[in-house]
A and B are shown apart, each in its own frame.
Chain A
């Protein structure tokens, strides 16, 4: 064995340790980079580091990337549910605020005041003051219905815009993933893979995706069996709306074929579900209540007589198809004296019709329920939906956090560890340098012997 080979080994050792310190420097520099996967110096040609099976390594640039692939793919999956519940919670709490119960301005209180005003009129059927009070409470009741319905409709309009924005974001992500795919194939790099993983996580929050890693390093991203991005192609998402009567339904589509996607999770699934079914259902219930109130109040009111003996007047505008159109009859708005309270033209002191109207509060006029019972059920349902989505969101956050911790236990940077490694590598470097020194002295010795 020639002395010069020791030179060669020492030189390699120097370079290896220098590379290792370089890797450590990179790890420290990225300690706070979201999605960064730590690198481990590749000493395999000198000695094995004993990576366990979970830590699948990719050797590049003289270093190994330490990944926790199992946790990573689970994070992708769980993020879909997190996105779904987070969005649902947010939307339900907005809906809950629209109804603003319990409060003085909530519909239940407004309804109570409406019934009470009729009861006051029943006690004073001759009074014009009581009549104008009935008129005012009627206006407030109708407006409250209009407003609640309109606010729900506005929320829906915003949701449609929101869906478009999210789809655009998703399309951007899909395009970027496609680009990264081809870059990784032609010139693999750790940073590109980290970046792509970040994008995949973002995409998973929006819609359910399946990710398949290829031999070549690129990934095939698909949703419901339809490919969104692969190494060679990307396919974007689109939206269409179909009108069904007054209701606009928003669909998420596979842009090329126009095929409608049914989503089970992800932000987009909550957005479309609440837009397509939840809000229209609440609106339909508001419609039912408004229609029942209108029809029943009119029925009772038209049977009564006012102080001048006029009868057959509707209190509300009849035949409305939606809560948004509920309104007090313009004749009554202009002439509150048209408000009827008595059961016959001559019985001016009789308030029995006004009393009957006030008693409608006890009558089962909305699908076998009183109006307020139907209303409380509706608001209670909304509260339930909000509560359960909050609960699921909180749970899901913990699941994702736990998985992130599992992933980070393998792949995130620990400063203590890097510092320890730094000293370790520095000493290795020093030792290699000393070795060269020693070989040098050995040469001197040999040369002196020749002397």
Chain B
């Protein structure tokens, strides 16, 4: 084949451009650490990676929800625990008050203590977490959920559930509402004890021991149910964290540059580029005129 100056020049320019383009692609990949800059680099991987990224971002949102719910549940547990302690204290007083040796005066003194316990219990069930009532159902911000008028405790909240979406298909109710607390008969048992002590009625005081015991048991059941919700949430958290760890590592495998490979390719490309430049300069200098006088 007859090879002319124009063919040599065209081929040299083409191969230099090709090398420069390859070097540029590798350089961009190495400097960003990403294999895929734009969908056209690999449309199939792009679509798959996008799904992974969406899944990761969704899971992160669930983890945020879980963090928030855990605070709520911890406060609920602590509060119910204290509530239970108050019932225990009332039961203690009832046991003392049931003793026949007590005088009317000493029972009256005990009644004042029980009165304090009832106040403390009401204040506990009006606890807030981040400005929201823990035990008001979904009436989280209006009037106090519990009012005490005399020995009657009234509940202003509702029996609504506060639900949290902790994974794609799983929602849990994270609250114990005031109705459940009323139903535990804790308040009526304490009020009955107070009345019995005030009226110096030893038999009634004895009866209230049983009532307080069953109220304390009911409160424990509520505490257990909160614990089981906490477990569910903790389980979901572990699952989400594991899922995200896996997704992130798959994403990284798909998308991140293998540096060792990229550097090797870059060096190889650089060598071929230098060879192209060197041979080009040799070939272009070479012509008959150098040999003619």
Given known A-B contacts A102-B46, A342-B138, A380-B46, A409 and B7 have beta carbons under 8 A apart: yes
Given known A-B contacts A119-B65, A404-B10, A412-B5, A92 and B40 have beta carbons under 8 A apart: yes
Neighbouring A residues of B1 by C-beta, 8 Å: 409
Query: Which of these, B40, B130, B132, B163, contacts A383 with CB under 8 Å?
Result: B40
Q: A102-B50, A405-B10, A414-B5 are in contact. List 9 more A-B contacts (CB 8 A).
A: A32-B6, A108-B50, A108-B54, A119-B64, A123-B68, A347-B137, A348-B140, A384-B39, A419-B288
Contact with A along B168-181 (1 / 0, CB 8 A): 10010000000000
Query: Which of these, A358, A361, A376, A419, contacts B292 with CB under 8 Å?
Result: A419
Which residues of B does A touch, CB under 8 Å? Answer: 1-7, 10-11, 14, 36, 38-44, 46-47, 49-51, 53-54, 57-58, 61, 64-65, 68-69, 130-132, 136-142, 158, 160-165, 168, 171, 287-289, 292
Neighbouring B residues of A416 by C-beta, 8 Å: 287-288
Chain A residue at minimum C-beta to C-beta distance from B130:
A124
Contact with B along A7-48 (1 / 0, CB 8 A): 000000000000000000000000110000000000000000
Determine chain A's interface SS by DSSP, over half rule.
helix
Number of A-B residue pairs having CB atoms within 8 Å of each other in the complex: 170
Chain A residue at minimum C-beta to C-beta distance from B47:
A380
Interface locus among A180-188, A219-227, A349-357: A349-357
Given known A-B contacts A348-B141, A380-B47, A414-B3, A387 and B40 have beta carbons under 8 A apart: yes
Chain B residue at minimum C-beta to C-beta distance from A31:
B5
Contact B39 A101 (CB under 8 A): yes
Interchain residue pairs with CB less than 8 A apart (16) = A102-B49, A109-B57, A119-B64, A123-B65, A123-B69, A126-B140, A347-B137, A349-B137, A350-B138, A350-B162, A372-B50, A376-B51, A380-B46, A382-B39, A383-B41, A401-B10
Q: Which of B1, B4, B131 has the most CB of A within 10 A?
A: B4
Given known A-B contacts A101-B46, A112-B54, A384-B43, A349 and B132 have beta carbons under 8 A apart: yes
- Does A297 belong to the interface (CB within 8 Å)? no
Neighbouring B residues of A355 by C-beta, 8 Å: 163, 165, 171
Nearest-neighbour CB distance to chain A for B139, whole angstroms, equals: 6
Contact B3 A409 (CB under 8 A): yes
- Does A379 belong to the interface (CB within 8 Å)? yes
Query: Which of these, B5, B140, B165, contacts A349 with CB under 8 Å?
Result: B140
A113–B55 Cα gap in the complex (Å)?
13
Closest 3 CB pairs of A and B: A383-B39, A349-B140, A386-B40
Query: Which of these, A126, A380, A414, contacts B141 with CB under 8 Å?
Result: A126
Neighbouring B residues of A362 by C-beta, 8 Å: 168
Given known A-B contacts A101-B50, A404-B10, A405-B10, A96 and B38 have beta carbons under 8 A apart: yes
Given known A-B contacts A119-B61, A362-B168, A93 and B40 have beta carbons under 8 A apart: yes
Neighbouring B residues of A380 by C-beta, 8 Å: 39, 43-44, 46-47
Nearest-neighbour CB distance to chain B for A125, whole angstroms, equals: 8
Given known A-B contacts A347-B158, A408-B6, A383 and B43 have beta carbons under 8 A apart: yes
Contact A419 B132 (CB under 8 A): no
Chain A residue at minimum C-beta to C-beta distance from B54:
A372
Given known A-B contacts A123-B65, A380-B39, A383-B46, A408 and B7 have beta carbons under 8 A apart: yes
- Does A420 belong to the interface (CB within 8 Å)? yes
Nearest-neighbour CB distance to chain A for B149, whole angstroms, equals: 23
